[in-house]
Chains A and B, each alone.
Chain A
Amino acid sequence: MSSVASVHSLWTMAAEAPARIPAPKIEYAQLAPALIVLGAAVVGVVLEGFVPRRSRYYAQLLLSVLALAAGFAAVVGLAAGGFGSTKAKIAAMGAIAVDGPALFLQGTILLVALVATFTFAERRLDPAAHGKRVDSFAAQAAAVPGGDAERAAVKAGFTTTEVFPLALFAVGGMLVFPAANDLLTLFVALEVFSLPLYILCALARRQRLLSQEAAVKYFLLGAFSSAFLLFGIALLYGYAGTVTYAGIAEVVSDGAKQITPALADTMGNDALLLIGAALVLMGLLFKVGAVPFHMWTPDVYQGAPTPVTGFMAAATKVAAFGALLRLLYVVLPGLRWDWRPVMWGVAIVTMLGGAVVAITQTDIKRLLAYSSIAHAGFILAGVIATSKDGISSVLFYLAAYSFVTLGAFAVVTLVRDAGGEATQLSKWAGLGRRSPLTAAVFAVFLLAFAGIPLTSGFAGKFAVFKAAAESGAGWLVVIGVISSAIAAFFYIRVIVLMFFNEPKADGPTVAVPSPLTMTAIGVGVAVTLVLGLAPQYFLDLAGQAGVFVR
Chain B
Amino acid sequence: MENLIALLVAAPLAGAALLLCGGRRLDRAGHWIGTLFALASFALAVPLFTELLGRDAEQRTLHQHLFSWIPVGGFQADVAFQLDQLSMTFVLLITGVGSLIHIYSVGYMEHDERRRRFFGYLNLFLAAMLLLVLADNYLLLYVGWEGVGLASYLLIGFWQHKPSAATAAKKAFLVNRVGDMGLSIAIMLMFTTFGTFAFGPVLGAVGETSEGKLTAIGLMLLLAACGKSAQVPLQSWLGDAMEGPTPVSALIHAATMVTAGVYLITRSGAIFNGAPDAQTAVVVVGAVTLLFGAIVGCAKDDIKKALAGSTMSQIGYMILAAGLGPIGYAFAIMHLVTHGFFKAGLFLGAGSVMHGMNDEVDMRRYGGLRKYMPVTFITFGLGYLAIIGFPGLSGFFSKDKIIEAAFAKGGTEGWILGGAALLGAAITAFYMTRVMLMTFFGEERWRKAPTPSPAEPSVEPAAETRGEYTPPHPHESPKSMTIPMILLAVGSVAAGGLFSINEAFVKWLEPVTDFEHGHPPLSASAITTATIVVMVLGVALAYFQYGRKPVPAVAPRGSLLTRAARRDLLQDDFNHAVLVRGGGELTRALVQLDHSVVDGAVRGTAASMGGLSGRLRQVQNGFARSYAVQMLGGAAVLIAATLLMRGV
Q: Is the CB of B610 within 8 A of A360?
A: yes
Binds B, one of A294-302, A386-394, A456-464: A294-302
Pick the contact of A270: B617, B638, B646 (CB < 8 A): B646
How distant is B620 from chain A, measured CB to nearest CB, in Å? 6
Residue-wise, chain A 523-549 has the 8 Å CB interface mask toward B (1 for contact) of 000000000000000000000000000
Q: How far is the CA of A275 from the CA of B638 in the complex (A)?
A: 9
Is A518 an interface position by the 8 A CB rule?
no
Q: List 15 A-B contacts (CB under 8 A).
A: A228-B631, A278-B638, A278-B639, A278-B642, A281-B638, A282-B634, A292-B637, A339-B642, A341-B645, A346-B638, A356-B609, A357-B620, A359-B609, A359-B610, A360-B614
Is A73 an interface position by the 8 A CB rule?
no
How distant is A310 from chain B, measured CB to nearest CB, in Å? 21
Q: Identify the closest chain B residue to A282 (Cβ).
A: B635
Is B596 an interface position by the 8 A CB rule?
no
How distant is B73 from chain A, measured CB to nearest CB, in Å? 25
Is A224 an interface position by the 8 A CB rule?
yes
Q: Is the CB of A338 within 8 A of B624?
A: no
Q: How far is the CA of A291 from the CA of B637 in the complex (A)?
A: 12
Pick the contact of B642: A217, A228, A298, A342 (CB < 8 A): A342
Interfacial chain A residues near B606, Cβ < 8 Å: 489
Interfacial chain A residues near B622, Cβ < 8 Å: 299
Which one of A274, A286, A361 has the greatest number of beta carbons of chain B within 10 Å?
A274
Q: How far is the CA of A271 from the CA of B639 in the complex (A)?
A: 10
Known: A356-B616, A357-B617, A360-B610. A275 touches B639 (CB 8 A): yes
Q: Identify the closest chain B residue to A225 (Cβ).
A: B631
Q: Is the CB of A342 within 8 A of B616?
A: no
Q: Is the CB of B642 within 8 A of A338?
A: yes
Interface size bracket, A side: 35 or more
Is A277 an interface position by the 8 A CB rule?
yes
Is A209 an interface position by the 8 A CB rule?
no
Residues 607-626 (chain B) with a chain A CB within 8 angstroms:
609-610, 612-614, 616-617, 619-620, 622, 624
Q: Is the CB of B624 within 8 A of A221?
A: yes
Main SS of the interface on chain B?
helix
Residue-wise, chain B 626-648 has the 8 Å CB interface mask toward A (1 for contact) of 01101101110111011101100
Q: Is the CB of B635 within 8 A of A278?
A: yes
Pick the contact of B641: A217, A299, A345, A361 (CB < 8 A): A345
Q: How far is the CA of A345 from the CA of B637 in the complex (A)?
A: 11
Is A246 an interface position by the 8 A CB rule?
no
Q: Is the CB of A342 within 8 A of B613?
A: no
Interfacial chain A residues near B612, Cβ < 8 Å: 356
Is A279 an interface position by the 8 A CB rule?
yes
Interfacial chain B residues near A489, Cβ < 8 Å: 606
Residue-wise, chain A 277-314 has the 8 Å CB interface mask toward B (1 for contact) of 11101100010000111011011000000000000000
Q: Identify the closest chain A residue to B628 (Cβ).
A: A224
Interfacial chain B residues near A346, Cβ < 8 Å: 638
Known: A292-B633, A356-B612, A357-B616. A341 touches B639 (CB 8 A): no
Since A277-B642, A298-B620, A357-B613 are in contact, a sample of 18 more A-B pairs with Cβ atoms closer than 8 Å, ordered by chain A residue number, is A220-B624, A220-B628, A221-B628, A270-B646, A274-B639, A274-B646, A292-B637, A295-B627, A295-B631, A337-B645, A342-B642, A342-B645, A353-B616, A356-B612, A357-B616, A359-B609, A360-B614, A489-B606
Residue-wise, chain A 329-362 has the 8 Å CB interface mask toward B (1 for contact) of 0000000011101100110000001001111110
Interfacial chain A residues near B620, Cβ < 8 Å: 295, 298-299, 357
Q: Is the CB of A274 within 8 A of B631?
A: no
Is A452 an interface position by the 8 A CB rule?
no
Residue-wise, chain B 438-466 has the 8 Å CB interface mask toward A (1 for contact) of 00000000000000000000000000000
Interfacial chain B residues near A274, Cβ < 8 Å: 639, 642-643, 646
Q: How far is the CA of A471 from the CA of B324 in the complex (A)?
A: 64
Q: How far is the CA of A358 from the CA of B619 in the complex (A)?
A: 13
Interface size bracket, B side: 20 to 34
Q: Is the CB of A228 within 8 A of B635?
A: yes
How distant is B613 from chain A, measured CB to nearest CB, in Å? 4
Which one of A220, A295, A298, A342 has the greatest number of beta carbons of chain B within 10 Å?
A295
Which one of B609, B624, B628, B637 has the greatest number of beta carbons of chain A within 10 Å?
B624
Residue-wise, chain A 213-226 has the 8 Å CB interface mask toward B (1 for contact) of 00011001100110
Q: Is the CB of B631 within 8 A of A221?
A: yes
How distant is B35 from chain A, measured CB to nearest CB, in Å? 51
How distant is B276 from chain A, measured CB to nearest CB, in Å? 52
Residues 111-147 (chain A) with a chain B CB within 8 angstroms:
none
Is A486 an interface position by the 8 A CB rule?
yes
Interfacial chain A residues near B638, Cβ < 8 Å: 278, 281-282, 342, 346
Residue-wise, chain A 25-63 has the 8 Å CB interface mask toward B (1 for contact) of 000000000000000000000000000000000000000
Q: How far is the CA of A489 from the CA of B602 in the complex (A)?
A: 12
Q: Is the CB of A221 within 8 A of B627?
A: yes
Q: Is the CB of B609 within 8 A of A486?
A: yes
How distant is A465 from chain B, measured CB to nearest CB, in Å? 21
Residues 186-231 (chain B) with a chain A CB within 8 angstroms:
none
Q: How far is the CA of A228 from the CA of B642 in the complex (A)?
A: 16
Which one of A224, A281, A359 has the greatest number of beta carbons of chain B within 10 Å?
A359
Q: Is the CB of B645 within 8 A of A217?
A: no
Pick the contact of B634: A220, A293, A358 (CB < 8 A): A293
Q: How far is the CA of A281 from the CA of B634 in the complex (A)?
A: 12
Q: How far is the CA of A360 from the CA of B616 in the complex (A)?
A: 10
Interfacial chain B residues near A277, Cβ < 8 Å: 642
How distant is B311 from chain A, measured CB to nearest CB, in Å? 53
Q: How far is the CA of A225 from the CA of B638 in the complex (A)?
A: 13
Q: How far is the CA of A345 from the CA of B616 in the complex (A)?
A: 18
Q: How far is the CA of A278 from the CA of B635 in the complex (A)?
A: 8
Which one of B609, B612, B627, B643 has the greatest number of beta carbons of chain A within 10 Å?
B627
Q: Identify the closest chain A residue to B625 (Cβ).
A: A220
Interfacial chain A residues near B613, Cβ < 8 Å: 356-360
Q: Identify the closest chain A residue to B611 (Cβ).
A: A360
Residues 451-489 (chain A) with a chain B CB within 8 angstroms:
486, 489
Q: Is the CB of B643 within 8 A of A217?
A: no
Interfacial chain B residues near A295, Cβ < 8 Å: 619-620, 627, 630-631
Interfacial chain B residues near A361, Cβ < 8 Å: 617
Known: A270-B646, A338-B642, A338-B646. A296 touches B627 (CB 8 A): yes
Q: How far is the CA of A486 from the CA of B606 in the complex (A)?
A: 9
Q: Is the CB of A360 within 8 A of B634?
A: no
Closest 4 pairs between A and B when the two form their complex, measured CB to CB: A292-B634, A295-B627, A359-B613, A360-B613
Q: How far is the CA of A282 from the CA of B641 in the complex (A)?
A: 12
Q: Is the CB of B631 within 8 A of A217?
A: no
Q: How far is the CA of A228 from the CA of B646 in the complex (A)?
A: 21
Interfacial chain B residues near A217, Cβ < 8 Å: 624, 627
How distant is B418 from chain A, measured CB to nearest CB, in Å? 66
Q: How far is the CA of A359 from the CA of B610 in the complex (A)?
A: 7
Q: How far is the CA of A360 from the CA of B619 in the complex (A)?
A: 13
Interfacial chain B residues near A225, Cβ < 8 Å: 631
How distant is A477 from chain B, measured CB to nearest CB, in Å? 20
Residue-wise, chain A 150-176 has the 8 Å CB interface mask toward B (1 for contact) of 000000000000000000000000000
Q: How far is the CA of A292 from the CA of B616 in the complex (A)?
A: 12
Q: How far is the CA of A275 from the CA of B619 in the complex (A)?
A: 27
Q: How far is the CA of A224 from the CA of B634 in the complex (A)?
A: 13
How distant is A381 from chain B, measured CB to nearest CB, in Å? 18
Q: How far is the CA of A279 from the CA of B616 in the complex (A)?
A: 25
Pick the contact of A275: B617, B627, B642 (CB < 8 A): B642
Residue-wise, chain A 198-236 has the 8 Å CB interface mask toward B (1 for contact) of 000000000000000000110011001100100000000
Q: How far is the CA of A143 from the CA of B630 in the complex (A)?
A: 33
How distant is A255 from chain B, measured CB to nearest CB, in Å? 15
Q: How far is the CA of A502 from the CA of B175 in the complex (A)?
A: 44
Interfacial chain B residues near A341, Cβ < 8 Å: 641, 645
Q: Identify the closest chain A residue to B619 (Cβ).
A: A295
Residues 236-277 (chain A) with a chain B CB within 8 angstroms:
270-271, 274-275, 277
Interfacial chain A residues near B628, Cβ < 8 Å: 220-221, 224
Q: How far is the CA of A216 from the CA of B624 in the complex (A)?
A: 9
